[in-house]
Amino acid sequence: MNATAPARKRALVTGGNKGIGLAICQGLLAAEFEVILAARSIDKAKTALEKLQSVGRASLRRQTLRERNENRVHPLILDVADDESIERAAQDFGTHFPQLDVLINNAGIYPDEDVNILTIDRELLDRTMNTNTFGAIRTTQAFLPHLSKSPAARVINGSSGLGALAGIAAESPSYSLSKLALNGATIMLAAALKPQKIAVYSMCPGWVRTDMGGTSASRSPEQGADTAIWLATAATPDFSGKFFRDRQEIPF
Ligand code: NAP
């Protein structure tokens, strides 16, 4: 390694095995990050890793990219709805890596088909809040010792326009509430972590063609990943505690 080269930044992406999370991993690798691809199972993480590594097997130039990616992307088991899994993942991370520069709380579920605020039951509310909101909070808490070792750490919460006050309607009840509360967590975490100079952002990827967004969605996963990658690489800490889409601040 070149002794004068700046140290490579390291990012962890939850739900990194598919959809927007996988596109974020891809984009961060292209931005020369080292990437920890977290997924609920090692099989899912390794399958996704192979997808990243198989980029461009067809040409020698891309073969080089594949080889470089192989050394810079690592699998991690992390179920954000399970505190034991989160703790294990944070410990596991600490045994392999000295610090974490960027945490992207991307993992999420949308289980609200055929329910609205008048019909949703407690189990569904619990499950969605537990994953989309409490998962991001608990993951941030657990990885804080690693983030604290970075000189300019940042946390990016994968939110949604359906969690913006102006986007709330009778439909998508558990999802909307979970993202509204996640935006609240962004504001609270940004305030709590300001003394440590750790920035915290919310972002909406837009409507994206993934298993969650469906095939009619207007954006590719790469387009959906763009603002998260921008926040990870270029946004200033002055933006901490704010909500973004298309690299622009939007109202909570
Ligand atoms: P997706 O294709 O369904 O992927 C969701 C990811 O989250 C998967 O990797 C999934 O893992 C993971 N996940 C779910 N529950 C988890 C848990 N308990 N622990 C760890 N990982 C878990 O969805 P997506 O469209 O890429 O969505 C990514 C994020 O963007 C979500 O937070 C979503 O709310 C947000 N978003 C999406 C859209 C859109 O239009 N697609 C719009 C606004 C916001 P498995 O493979 O194990 O299920």
CATH number at residue 116: 3.40.50.720
Q: Which of 11, 31, 234, 32 is nearest to 106 (CA)?
A: 11
How many structural domains are present in the chain? 1
- For the CA of 158, the closest atom of ligand 1 is 32
Look at the block and give the residue holding tokens 């810079």. Answer: 72
In a domain, 135, yes or no: yes
In a domain, 1, yes or no: no
Task: Give 132 Cα–ligand 1 centroid separation in angstroms.
Answer: 9
pLDDT the model gives residue 60: 41
Q: Which of 158, 138, 149, 136 is nearest to 225 (CA)?
A: 158
Domain that holds residue 125: 10-250
User: pLDDT tens string for the chain (252 positions)?
Assistant: 444 556 899 999 999 999 999 999 999 999 999 999 999 999 999 999 999 987 634 334 554 555 556 679 999 999 999 999 999 999 999 999 999 999 999 999 999 999 999 999 999 999 999 999 999 999 999 999 999 999 999 999 999 999 999 989 999 999 999 999 999 999 999 999 999 999 999 999 999 999 999 999 999 999 999 999 999 999 888 999 999 999 999 999
In a domain, 4, yes or no: no
- For the CA of 162, the closest atom of ligand 1 is 43
In a domain, 5, yes or no: no
Ligand 1 pocket check: which of 44, 132, 210 to mutate, most ligand atoms within 8 Å of Cβ? 210
- For the CA of 211, the closest atom of ligand 1 is 2
- Give the residue, by CA position, lying nearest to ligand 1 atom 3: 212
Handedness of CA 250, 207, 227, 7 (dihedral sign): positive
**Cβ proximity of 185 and 132 under 8 Å:** no
Exposed/middle/buried for residue 55 (C-beta within 10 Å: 0-12, 13-18, 19+):
middle
In a domain, 43, yes or no: yes
- Give the residue, by CA position, lying nearest to ligand 1 atom 23: 212
In a domain, 28, yes or no: yes
From CA 221, how far away is CA 51, in angstroms rounded?
A: 14
Query: What phi and psi, each to the nearest 5 degrees, are found at residue 164?
Result: -75, 145
